[in-house]
Amino acid sequence: MTHFDPEQAAARAWFESLRDRICAAFIAIEREAGSDATFEYLPWDRANPDGTPGGGGVRGVMKGKVFEKVGVNVSTVDGALDGDFAKTIHGADEDPKFFATGISLVAHMANPHVPAVHMNTRFLNTTKRWFGGGADLNPPLPYEQDTQDFHARLKIACDAHGADYYARYSQWADDYFYIPHRKVHRGVGGIFYDHLEGDFDANFAFTRDVGEAFLDIYPQIVRRRMGLAWTAEDRAQMLAWRGRYAEFNLVYDRGTLFGLKTGGNIDAILMSLPPEATWG
């Protein structure tokens, strides 16, 4: 894509700026732990089936002392969706042309006491325009304080925009981040929203506040737990839960499917997978 309309340009710029601030915050934590780890960035380009440019993105991954593997990706892509897949995307059944820009983050931690986390926010255009995303906490060894603080911070972001937002979007997260074949939730929840359309300015403001809430609370939780001692049994529990995380992302996650169906960068799409996991 060579041209962005003002809404598309504003959304893209925000997601990229949020990426930069999150990565800086995570690098600062590594420095506090005595690590010189940093993000390695890999730009990638996407071509449409007809050979025309279809946008691209940047895959950012850091492997450190605190963050065993964290990926923070941004992408901005456009083109036309496959006919059958287009029918499953909001507004694309009428016209398969699309535009999408967003940030996607997954952190798998070295210390089992530090919860893994996912955060993603995005802006999509078909015949409709909407924001979606959210954040959820995935602790191998849950602490009620961490769960409460994470939810409380997201609730503040929600309450500023709609009295019913937190109730709706936290329930949506519980419903969405669920592994039917195991009959368990992926973690301790958070918020999830999609197809938030209508007032661009209001919905964009909410999406920015979700990003700010994540950037505020998650580093606090990491610092709270990253120095705790852990056992081999603790790590075994973490690896088992990582396996469930991988199952969800490969079988049920909408973002993974969207990336694969639209010809995205495979390494960027699958950066959400843990560096090590166990099954049975």
**Residues with active-site annotation:** 118
Query: Which helix (H) or strand (E) covers residue 92, if one does?
Result: none
What whole-number distance in Å separates Cα of residue 219 and Cα of residue 96?
39
As a whole number of Å, the CA-based R_g of the chain is: 18
Say if CB 207 and CB 222 are below 8 A apart.
Answer: no
CA distance 259 to 254: 9
Tokens of 181: 């074949």
Q: Residue 124: which H helix or E strand, with range?
A: strand 116-125
User: Would you say the C-alpha torsion 42, 226, 273, 254 has a positive or negative sign?
Assistant: negative
268: burial class by Cβ within 10 Å (0-12, 13-18, 19+)? Answer: buried
Residue with tokens 């999406």: 207
End-to-end CA distance of the chain: 46
Who contacts 177 (Cβ-Cβ below 8 Å, separation ≥6)?
Answer: 136, 185, 186, 187, 189, 190, 192, 248
